[in-house]
Amino acid sequence: MQPRQETTFDIEDQPQIFADATPKIRSIRFGDWEMDTWYVAPYPEEYSWYPTLYICEYCLKYMKSKYIADRHKMKCPMKHPPGDEIYRDGLISIFEVDGRKNTIYCQNLCLLAKMFLDHKTLYYDVEPFLFYVMTEINDTGCHFVGYFSKEKRSPLNYNVSCILTLPIHQRKGYGNLLIEFSYLLTKRESKTGSPEKPLSDLGLLSYRYYWRNVLFEVLNDSPEALSIEELSRATSMTVNDVVATLQINNMLVKDEENGTYRIVVDKDLIKNHLEKVTAKGYPRIRTENLRWTPFILTRALRRAQDLENEKNISKQEQQNSTDRTNKIVDDEMDVD
**Which CATH number do you get for residue 5?**
3.30.60.60
Residue 332 counted as domain residue: no
Across the range 181-208, mean pLDDT stands at: 94
- Strand pairing category for 52-55 and 84-89: unpaired
pLDDT in tens, 75-128: 999 999 999 999 999 999 999 999 999 999 999 999 999 999 887 667 789 999
- Indicate if 229 belongs to the active site: no
Domain carrying residue 231: 79-295
Distance CA 80, CA 297 (A): 25
Residue 311 counted as domain residue: no
Examine the fold and report which residue of 12, 44, 78 is the final residue of a domain before the chain moves on.
78
Examine the fold and report which residue of 78, 105, 126 is the final residue of a domain before the chain moves on.
78
Q: Fill in the amino acid letter for 173.
A: G
Distance CA 183, CA 213 (A): 13
Strand stretches in 56-168, DSSP E:
62-63, 84-89, 92-98, 129-138, 141-151, 158-160, 162-165
Q: Fill in the amino acid letter for 297.
A: L
Give the other-Cβ count within 10 Å of 212's Cβ: 18
Q: What is the pTM of this model?
A: 0.81
Question: Are 260 and 282 in a shared domain?
Answer: yes
Q: What stretch of H or E contains 328?
A: helix 299-335
Please determine, for residue 12, whether its predicted confidence score (pLDDT) is greater than 50.
Answer: no
Examine the fold and report which residue of 78, 102, 137 is the final residue of a domain before the chain moves on.
78
Q: What is the CATH number of the domain that holds 131?
A: 3.40.630.30
Task: Give the model's pLDDT for residue 305.
Answer: 57
Range with the poorest average pLDDT among 1-10, 110-119, 272-281, 308-317: 1-10
Residue 133 counted as domain residue: yes
Residue 319 counted as domain residue: no
Cβ neighbors of 180 (< 8 A, separation 6 or more) are 210, 214, 284, 285
Please determine, for residue 180, whether its predicted confidence score (pLDDT) is greater than 80.
Answer: yes
Q: Fill in the amino acid letter for 121.
A: T
What does the DSSP 8-state code read for residue 196? P
pLDDT in tens, 277-312: 999 999 999 999 999 999 876 655 556 555 655 565
In three-state secondary structure terms, 309 is: helix
Question: Are 69 and 110 in a shared domain?
Answer: no
CA-based radius of gyration for the chain:
24
Task: Give the model's pLDDT for residue 1.
Answer: 41
Question: Are 58 and 90 in a shared domain?
Answer: no
Question: Are 72 and 85 in a shared domain?
Answer: no
Question: Are 36 and 172 in a shared domain?
Answer: no
Question: Are 21 and 153 in a shared domain?
Answer: no
Residue 162 counted as domain residue: yes
Task: Give the model's pLDDT for residue 312.
Answer: 52
Q: In what order do the strands lie in the sheet with 162-165?
A: 84-89, 92-98, 129-138, 141-151, 162-165
Residue among 34, 151, 189, 196 flagged as catalytic: 196
Q: How deeply is 166 buried, as exposed, middle or buried, from its count of CB atoms within 10 A (0-12, 13-18, 19+)?
A: buried
Residue 324 counted as domain residue: no
Q: In Å, what is the CA distance from 87 to each residue of 50, 185, 239?
A: 37, 11, 28
Taken in order 282, 222, 266, 233, the sign of the CA dihedral is negative
Residue 331 counted as domain residue: no
Angle CA 286–146–297, to nearest 5: 75
Question: Are 85 and 73 in a shared domain?
Answer: no
Please give the mean pLDDT across all residues of the chain. 85
Q: What confidence category does residue 199 fall into, taking pLDDT thresholds of 50, 70 and 90?
A: confident
Residue 327 counted as domain residue: no
Total domains in the chain come to 2
